[in-house]
Structure 1
Amino acid sequence: MEKSLLSILMETQSGGGESILATTKFAILPIAKVFTVCFMGCLMASKYINILPANGRKLLNGLVFTLLLPCLIFSQLGRAITLENLLEWWYIPVNVVMATISGSLIGFVVACVVRPPYPYFKFTIIHIGIGNIGNIPLVLIAALCRDESNPFGDPNKCSQDGNAYISFGQWVGAVVVYTYVFQMLAPPPGETFDTLEEEKLPTKAPVNAVPEQVPLQTSEEPVTIALESSKGGKIVSQLRHLVEKLKLKQIFQAPIIASILAIVIGAVPFLKQLILTDDAPFFFFTDSCLILGEAMIPCILLALGGNLVDGPGAGTAKLGFRTTAAIVFGRLVLVPPAGLGIVTLADKLGFLPKGDKMFKFVLLLQHSMPTSVLSGAVAILRGCGKESASVLFWVHIFAVFSMAGWIVLYLGLLF
């Protein structure tokens, strides 16, 4: 990095108070903006106003992840990326994988020490190891770059580069969530996280339903046998099994598709001049995506603030205070120093572009964010959604303070 931690401390003691004060301002103001918009969302969802009820927040989340976020990724990443940049940015997805590995190892150590209640051992590892590498960093970059006097220079270039770097790593994060996290959050064999036993549910079906199923099964057997006997049928059945096994429908969601399209179109000069440049014939499409993408930041913050209105709920009681506090401490305090060491080592080895401070800043942010909201979505599918919601509540509350401190340190190291 440009400065060592020791040199920053020496500058603080030798009259560098003004620069440290400026750095603190640029670190705290984005967090304050994020907290303010989240508070507005929480207020709108409260029982006193109640214009953002649970169904409304669900629709707003769907709008963000299906339309607004893909538009932001496509427009910002596509305009910033080139074939040369694609080769220079190779360490961004590697950093996401490294963040997952280091965070999971720290989560494993914390889980071994704390010994969470059964069956939340892997749950603890995941909620410490998987950070929010997309949504919150995008919000922080937008809030930081909005200031004309930000340390990264031109606000437009600052925002475009930061959004491009973050978007370039999002597809890896989504693959990690819907493969590694999905498998790790599986309940123990034959059991569930809830008190209901799923294996008893089929016995509640009416008896007269059994004869109705028999002709359906017998009528489909010849077709199934005929399909499997042919080579084409075997290939189709194998492809179906592969799609179900790898959860490809969950992996290839709208933000991932937008990232792939942005990378492909942005890396091909002819396609980029056709769609993404200011004088392109089809720039009206990109400009529309830019307009919609600008709405992503306030919408997702309003939804996040609204989700916090319900509080931790019953999930904290199941996990216990000790486990919940350990997850918060591990994610916000123990993981970022490990990430700082990883990024510093990568810089010393020459893996990072020289002189690009925004690049390093985004890499550091990937290690310092609260637990990923997508892990909460996977937890709902696995039957531990209440416990995950309580963890997300407490992690995001304390992240307001931890992120401010880490950003102060990162900006001090970079500048």
Structure 2
Amino acid sequence: MLAPPPEGTFDIDPQSIPIKCTTKSDGSPEQDPLLTQEEGGYLTGPNASRKWKMKDCLRFLYEKLKLKQILQPPIIASILAMVLGAVPFLKSLIFTPDAPLFFFTDSCMILGEAMIPCILLALGGNLIDGPGSSKLGLRTTAAIVFARLVLVPPVGLGIVMLADKLGFLPPDDKMFRFVLLLQHSMPTSVLSGAVANLRGCGKEAAGVLFWVHIFAIISMAGWIVLFLNILF
């Protein structure tokens, strides 16, 4: 270890920092410190301060928008798949059967076939104490089921009809319109239960999914009859 000299220490007095002398407009000397201190550190130039400001801004947006809760693994995988599929070079490199990296796609397809059974097993494990073991309560669960199965389908019907009026949908393709309408009346995906399980609320999500799928048997039958009467 280095020891301080006998006549002093390693501590530097701010008053003893070397200064440079410049001349003011009136001819009097102006003294500026060679090293500028700010909050315990030294400035290295405007680029460094700009870099730190950008980092602070990005960190603020990341925390304010709660991107950690939004960017879950399924969403990240979906965005990555859309990017890879939209670029022709990457698509021919990964997704085509004769691509050099098609083994990666083949492995993902094999894992994807087992995804739904694994998710159902996880949901079943969360329902080990019954669907009423969640902390949401009867009113909250009933409101979620009502909103998903009764309120969402009319909104989807209005969106599809508006898109049809504006010419966004293929003409004379009633089956395509029926699929668009049907997806709004479907129960919540079991994948949402897996995402909720990552956030530590798997029991609540499993209870809601249980009741949504139970009552969807009745609601889907009614909405399918209505959609068929509208389209055909």
**Both structures adopt the same fold (TM-score exceeding 0.5):** yes
135, 138, 145: which is aligned to 1:328? 145
Percent identity of paired positions between Structure 1 and Structure 2: 71
Deviation at 1:354, TM superposition (A): 3.7
How much has 1:358 moved relative to structure 2?
6.2
- Matched residue, 1:347: 164
1:67-86 residue pairs with structure 2 within 5 A?
A: none
Higher helix share: 1
Greater share of strand: 2
- Contact 1:376–1:388 (CA under 8 A) maintained in structure 2: no
Task: Please tell me whether Structure 1 or Structure 2 has the larger radius of gyration of its CA atoms.
Answer: 2
Q: Which amino acid in 1 is paired with 2:123?
A: L
Which range moved further: 307-316 or 274-283? 307-316
**Greater RCO, 1 or 2 (C-alpha within 8 Å, sep 6+):** 1
Q: Deviations over 1:142-192 (max 9, x none)?
A: xxxxxxxxxxxxxxxxxxxxxxxxxxxxxxxxxxxxxxxxxxxxxxxxxxx
| Counterpart position of 1:308 | 127
Report what 2:88 is aligned to.
Answer: 269
Listed one character per residue, the Cα deviations across residues 326-355 of structure 1 (whole Å, up to 9, x for unaligned) are 443333123313322321221232112345
Supply the distance in 1 between the matched residues of 2:211 and 2:181 (Cα, whole angstroms): 22
Match in the other structure for 1:295: 114
CA RMSD of aligned residues (A): 3.8
Offset of residue 385 of structure 1: 7.9
Residue 368 of structure 1 aligns with which residue?
185
* 8 Å CA contact 2:193, 2:205 repeated in 1: no
> Hey, what's the Cα distance between the residues in 2 that align with 1:270 and 1:354?
32
Per-residue deviation at 1:248? 2.3
Aligned length: 189
In the alignment, the residues of structure 2 paired with residue 303 and residue 370 of structure 1 have an alpha-carbon distance, to the nearest angstrom, of: 18
CA contact (8 A) 1:312 1:394 kept: no
**Residue number in structure 2 paired with 1:230:** 49
1:119-130 matches, within 5 Å, as none
Q: Kindly indicate whether the alpha-carbon contact (under 8 Å) linking 1:312 and 1:393 is maintained by their aligned counterparts in 2.
A: no
Q: State the partner residue of 1:256.
A: 75
**TM-score under structure 1 length normalisation:** 0.38
Given that residues 312 and 389 in structure 1 are in contact (C-alpha distance below 8 angstroms), is that contact kept between their aligned partners in structure 2? no
CA distance in 2, matches of 1:269, 1:346: 29
Which digits, 9 at most, give the CA deviation of each residue in 1:58-106, with x for residues without a partner? xxxxxxxxxxxxxxxxxxxxxxxxxxxxxxxxxxxxxxxxxxxxxxxxx
**In the TM superposition, what are the counterparts of 1:51-66 in structure 2 within 5 Å?**
none
For structure 1, the residue ranges without an aligned partner over 5 or more in a row are: 1-220
Asked whether the 8 Å contact 1:376–1:389 carries over to 2, the reply is: no
Unpaired runs of at least 5, structure 2: 1-38
Amino acid at match of 2:40: P
What is the rounded CA distance, in whole Å, between the counterparts of 2:101 and 2:125 in structure 1?
37
